């Protein structure tokens, strides 16, 4: 038996694979939580696209920073997609409470907590939840999965990302060009009738231009951006790491 066992700080990775003992003797446990959604992503992408992207980004960043990665939260505020089959939205109020209670529990043993968000509809809940957690003295924040020039939904950006991280789950023969108007022009109609009011396919953008090479570039940009935000650890007024 190796007598040095009790003096070693364990190398941690996936929270679900760790033991309570490992966590109790670790001196630097901080936790990253992928946050996504279960919602339509057109006829060509899986319902868990946002969760897959958030999870992949989280794991890549965690390897660089040596943080724990929690199992992803796969349900969010996706009411704008409710007209499409497969969408499961828990709404902003329920998501806010989930994130608050999650944060209260996790920070009872973790030094820091960050939610890595892959779905824009979750921002309202994140803003409120992180504000409440930080007001309680808990060291929490959130980071987006961000890339410059991204189109809104199930178009070039997300399709390229999935071709990079989950190519076998992209139905290339079902790609259809969606509504390519700027999101600012679509929002008034979307607020009244959701995505279905502006796109019969649920696509906002053009997935037919997507490539795995482009997905690798976008993914790298997201990972680098998230790593910088977490390394700086400067939460803004909305709790987002700047």
CA-closest candidate to residue 47, choices 57, 55, 56, 37: 37
**Ranges of each domain in the chain:** 15-148+218-232
Do residues 216 and 209 touch, judged by C-beta distance below 8 A?
Answer: no
Predicted pLDDT of residue 12: 61
Whole-prediction pTM value? 0.93
Considering only the top CATH level, what class is 15-148+218-232?
alpha beta
**Tens of pLDDT along 192-213?**
999 999 999 999 999 999 999 9
For residue 144, the surrounding DSSP H or E stretch is strand 140-144
What are the residues whose beta carbons fall under 8 Å from the beta carbon of 82, sequence distance 6 or more? 89, 194
**Tens of pLDDT along 62-107?**
999 989 999 999 999 999 999 999 999 999 999 999 999 999 999 9
The partner residues of 114 in beta bridges, in order of sequence, read 32, 141
**CA atoms of 117 and 219, how far apart (whole Å):** 14
Q: Which residues of the chain have pLDDT under 50?
A: 1-11
CA distances in angstroms from 23 to 101, 108, 129, listed in the order given? 20, 12, 25
């Amino acid at each position: 038996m190796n007598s040095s066992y009790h003096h070693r700080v364990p190398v941690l990775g996936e929270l679900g694979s760790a033991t309570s003992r490992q966590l109790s003797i670790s001196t630097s446990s901080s936790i990253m939580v992928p946050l996504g959604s279960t919602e339509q992503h057109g006829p060509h992408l899986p319902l868990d696209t946002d969760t897959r992207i958030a999870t992949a980004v989280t794991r890549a960043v965690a390897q660089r920073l040596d943080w724990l990665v929690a199992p992803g939260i796969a349900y969010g505020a996706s009411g704008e997609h409710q007209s499409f089959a497969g969408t499961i939205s828990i709404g902003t109020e329920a998501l806010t409470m989930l994130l608050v209670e999650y944060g209260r529990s996790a920070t009872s043993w973790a030094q820091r907590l960050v939610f890595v968000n892959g779905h824009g509809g979750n921002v309202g809940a994140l803003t409120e939840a992180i504000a409440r957690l930080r007001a309680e003295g808990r060291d929490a924040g959130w980071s987006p999965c961000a890339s410059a020039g991204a189109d809104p939904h199930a178009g070039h950006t997300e399709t390229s990302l999935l071709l990079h991280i989950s190519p076998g789950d992209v139905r290339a023969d079902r790609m259809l060009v969606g509504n390519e108007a700027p999101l600012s022009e679509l929002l008034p109609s979307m607020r009244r009738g959701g995505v279905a009011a502006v796109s019969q396919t649920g696509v906002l953008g053009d997935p037919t231009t997507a490539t795995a090479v482009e997905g690798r570039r976008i993914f790298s940009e997201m990972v680098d951006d998230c790593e910088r935000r977490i390394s700086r650890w400067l939460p803004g007024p909305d709790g987002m790491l700047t």
